[in-house]
């Protein structure tokens, strides 16, 4: 059985979560921090009935003590996904992992099963990368009367080690800005490029900001791809007008690291005909030692994702 999620859920109900951060460096940048969502383990067999939720709670506690992991609390999962839609049981499948990630910000999902034979107790964990759908398994066993607390602590250590050792396959490779621009240019080919204006209103904590990060990033990518940019002070009107709204807000803190999440909504319109060429939205998260830099980075990342989908639709 796979979880069924609504097609659209309010993205502003996202659980606060730290995203995949930068690697630790000598210049003071924050270390890599991954967000993990732990779902209730399946324990339907009569002889282990009720152990699943206990295991997931203990795993959540143990994993939260790991320095490079941040766990999404159960209350936050319920708020973002809804108890009825998710069920929070061990039914998360790789093909639904990306949908869960979009709603919670989690890079890693952990689910599994608890079962018992006549002489042994087994806890099997499934570790799913939400960006790659790659799945790994870990297992702990004990006697029929083994301590659930001890087994859960041992399993948490195995999960944490697996995430560190296999992170390259659990997480999507970070695309360099120049690679993104090259990919967009290839999609554009030798088509004639229209002139474009970009206006994206931006807010952080309910306050308007002077230098919108999303607008800056999208404008930069358009310029690097060869488009002519226009604004209110330009002599000529643009062929296409891109407008939208963006907001960022504080997510959570872990030590000196702060996370922010952002959402961007944009619309591209042909100015002469009035036709809507594209409507899109993107949610992103980022982490930094400074809150406002994290917010700006989240908006910048979201704009980059949007640019890759939007820009090829601007040319005929």
d(CA 259, CA 95): 27
Give pLDDT, residue 150.
95
User: H helices within the chain, ranges in order?
Assistant: 51-64, 74-81, 83-86, 94-104, 148-165, 167-170, 177-188, 213-224, 291-310
* 249: nearest Cα among 194, 298, 316: 298
Q: Is 85 helix (H, G, I), strand (E, B) or coil?
A: helix
* 30: nearest Cα among 253, 287, 251, 252: 287
177-314: CATH architecture = 2-Layer Sandwich (3.30)
Give pLDDT, residue 205.
73
Tens digit of pLDDT per residue, the chain (316 long)? 333 333 223 232 333 333 333 333 333 333 467 888 898 898 888 888 889 889 999 999 999 888 888 888 776 666 666 544 554 444 566 666 776 776 677 888 998 999 998 899 999 999 999 888 899 999 999 998 899 999 999 999 999 999 988 888 888 776 788 889 999 999 999 999 999 999 999 988 766 666 789 999 999 999 999 999 999 899 999 999 999 999 999 877 766 677 788 999 999 999 999 999 999 999 888 878 888 888 999 999 999 999 999 999 999 7
User: How many helices (H) does the chain have, and how many strands (E)?
Assistant: 9, 11
What's domain 11-170's superfamily in CATH? ABC-type transport auxiliary lipoprotein component (3.40.50.10610)
Q: Which residues are bridge partners to 193 per DSSP?
A: none
d(CA 195, CA 216): 16
Pairing assessment for the beta strands 195-204 and 207-208 based on DSSP bridges:
antiparallel
Give the domain ranges of the chain.
11-170, 177-314
Q: Do domains 11-170 and 177-314 have the same CATH topology?
A: no
How many residues are listed for the chain in this entry? 316
d(CA 105, CA 285): 7
């Amino acid at each position: 059985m796979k979880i069924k999620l609504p097609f659209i859920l309010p993205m502003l109900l996202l659980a606060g979560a730290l995203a995949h951060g930068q690697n630790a460096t000598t210049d003071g940048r924050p270390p890599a921090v991954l967000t993990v969502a732990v779902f209730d383990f399946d324990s339907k067999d009569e002889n282990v009935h009720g152990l699943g939720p206990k295991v997931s709670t203990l795993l959540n506690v143990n994993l939260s003590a790991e320095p490079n992991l941040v766990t999404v609390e159960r209350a936050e999962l319920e708020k973002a996904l809804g108890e009825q839609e998710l069920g929070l049981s061990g039914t998360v499948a790789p093909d639904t992992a990306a949908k869960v990630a979009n709603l919670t910000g989690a890079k890693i999902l952990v689910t599994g099963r608890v079962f018992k034979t006549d002489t042994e107790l087994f806890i099997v964990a499934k570790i799913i990368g939400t960006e790659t759908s790659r799945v790994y398994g870990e297992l702990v066993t004990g006697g029929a009367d083994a301590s659930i607390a001890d087994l859960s602590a041992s399993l948490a250590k195995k999960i944490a080690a697996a995430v560190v050792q296999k992170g390259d396959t659990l997480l999507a490779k970070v695309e360099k800005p120049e690679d993104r621009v090259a990919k967009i240019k290839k999609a554009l080919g030798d088509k004639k490029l229209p002139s474009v204006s970009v206006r994206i209103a931006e807010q952080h904590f309910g306050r308007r900001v002077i230098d919108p990060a999303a607008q800056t990033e999208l404008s930069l990518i358009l310029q690097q791809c060869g488009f002519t940019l226009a604004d209110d002070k330009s002599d000529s009107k643009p062929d296409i007008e891109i407008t939208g709204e963006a907001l960022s807000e504080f997510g959570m803190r872990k030590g000196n690291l702060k996370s922010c999440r952002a959402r961007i909504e944009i619309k591209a319109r042909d100015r002469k005909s009035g036709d809507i060429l594209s409507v899109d939205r993107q949610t992103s998260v980022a982490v930094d030692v400074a809150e406002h830099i994290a917010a700006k980075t989240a908006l910048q990342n979201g704009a980059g994702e949007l640019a890759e989908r939007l820009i090829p639709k601007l040319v005929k």
